[in-house]
Amino acid sequence: MSWRVTQINTGSAVLMLDCPGLCWDNFPSLADALLKAWELEPVERDWGADRHSWLLEFEGSPLRLEFEHHGGCWLEAVRPADREVVLWLGRQHKD
Protein backbone atom coordinates (compact mmCIF):
# COMPACT_ATOMS: atom_id res chain seq x y z
CA MET A 1 0.00 0.00 0.00
CA SER A 2 1.30 3.45 -0.78
CA TRP A 3 -0.29 5.38 2.12
CA ARG A 4 2.20 6.77 4.59
CA VAL A 5 2.14 8.67 7.85
CA THR A 6 3.94 11.94 7.17
CA GLN A 7 3.55 13.47 10.62
CA ILE A 8 2.34 12.44 14.06
CA ASN A 9 1.13 15.34 16.18
CA THR A 10 1.27 13.85 19.65
CA GLY A 11 -0.29 16.90 21.33
CA SER A 12 -3.52 16.77 19.38
CA ALA A 13 -3.22 13.07 18.40
CA VAL A 14 -3.56 13.75 14.69
CA LEU A 15 -1.89 11.70 11.96
CA MET A 16 -1.11 13.52 8.74
CA LEU A 17 -1.35 11.06 5.85
CA ASP A 18 -0.30 11.05 2.23
CA CYS A 19 -0.70 8.79 -0.76
CA PRO A 20 0.90 9.36 -4.18
CA GLY A 21 -1.54 10.93 -6.61
CA LEU A 22 -4.16 11.60 -3.94
CA CYS A 23 -6.83 14.02 -5.16
CA TRP A 24 -10.50 14.80 -4.62
CA ASP A 25 -11.69 12.36 -7.28
CA ASN A 26 -9.68 9.31 -6.23
CA PHE A 27 -9.88 9.80 -2.46
CA PRO A 28 -12.74 7.28 -1.99
CA SER A 29 -10.95 4.41 -3.71
CA LEU A 30 -7.56 5.18 -2.16
CA ALA A 31 -9.14 5.64 1.28
CA ASP A 32 -10.86 2.27 0.97
CA ALA A 33 -7.42 0.68 0.56
CA LEU A 34 -6.24 2.48 3.71
CA LEU A 35 -9.25 1.25 5.67
CA LYS A 36 -8.62 -2.32 4.61
CA ALA A 37 -4.90 -2.22 5.38
CA TRP A 38 -5.37 -0.61 8.81
CA GLU A 39 -8.49 -2.66 9.69
CA LEU A 40 -10.68 0.42 10.04
CA GLU A 41 -14.43 0.04 9.66
CA PRO A 42 -16.40 2.73 7.80
CA VAL A 43 -19.45 4.01 9.67
CA GLU A 44 -20.43 7.08 7.66
CA ARG A 45 -19.05 8.77 4.54
CA ASP A 46 -19.78 12.43 3.95
CA TRP A 47 -18.45 14.92 1.44
CA GLY A 48 -19.02 18.51 0.45
CA ALA A 49 -17.61 21.11 -1.89
CA ASP A 50 -14.00 20.71 -0.84
CA ARG A 51 -13.88 18.06 1.89
CA HIS A 52 -14.36 14.35 2.46
CA SER A 53 -15.18 13.49 6.08
CA TRP A 54 -15.49 9.83 7.03
CA LEU A 55 -16.49 8.48 10.41
CA LEU A 56 -14.62 5.24 11.10
CA GLU A 57 -14.27 2.76 13.90
CA PHE A 58 -11.22 0.88 15.15
CA GLU A 59 -11.84 -1.68 17.88
CA GLY A 60 -14.71 0.35 19.31
CA SER A 61 -13.01 3.74 19.02
CA PRO A 62 -14.65 6.30 16.71
CA LEU A 63 -12.15 8.05 14.45
CA ARG A 64 -12.48 10.58 11.69
CA LEU A 65 -10.62 10.49 8.36
CA GLU A 66 -10.61 13.91 6.74
CA PHE A 67 -9.43 15.06 3.33
CA GLU A 68 -9.39 18.64 2.08
CA HIS A 69 -8.24 19.34 -1.44
CA HIS A 70 -5.84 22.08 -0.30
CA GLY A 71 -5.40 20.99 3.32
CA GLY A 72 -4.29 17.39 3.04
CA CYS A 73 -5.47 14.22 4.70
CA TRP A 74 -5.52 13.34 8.39
CA LEU A 75 -6.85 10.86 10.91
CA GLU A 76 -8.05 12.00 14.34
CA ALA A 77 -9.98 10.70 17.32
CA VAL A 78 -13.58 11.78 17.76
CA ARG A 79 -13.32 11.60 21.58
CA PRO A 80 -10.32 12.74 23.63
CA ALA A 81 -10.33 9.34 25.36
CA ASP A 82 -9.43 7.69 22.02
CA ARG A 83 -6.41 9.84 21.21
CA GLU A 84 -4.05 7.06 22.32
CA VAL A 85 -5.63 4.78 19.69
CA VAL A 86 -4.70 7.27 16.95
CA LEU A 87 -1.14 7.55 18.26
CA TRP A 88 -0.87 3.76 18.42
CA LEU A 89 -2.04 3.47 14.79
CA GLY A 90 0.53 6.08 13.80
CA ARG A 91 3.35 4.18 15.47
CA GLN A 92 2.23 0.90 13.86
CA HIS A 93 2.15 2.35 10.35
CA LYS A 94 4.97 4.92 10.40
CA ASP A 95 7.43 4.11 7.60
> Mean per-residue pLDDT for 81-91?
96
Cα–Cα distance measured from residue 66 to residue 73, given in angstroms and rounded to the nearest whole number: 6
Cα–Cα distance measured from residue 59 to residue 40, given in angstroms and rounded to the nearest whole number: 8
- Tell me the pLDDT tens digit for each residue of 16-68: 999 999 998 999 999 999 999 999 999 999 998 889 999 999 999 999 999 99
Domain ranges of the chain: 4-93
Cα–Cα distance measured from residue 50 to residue 84, given in angstroms and rounded to the nearest whole number: 29
CATH class entry, domain 4-93: alpha beta
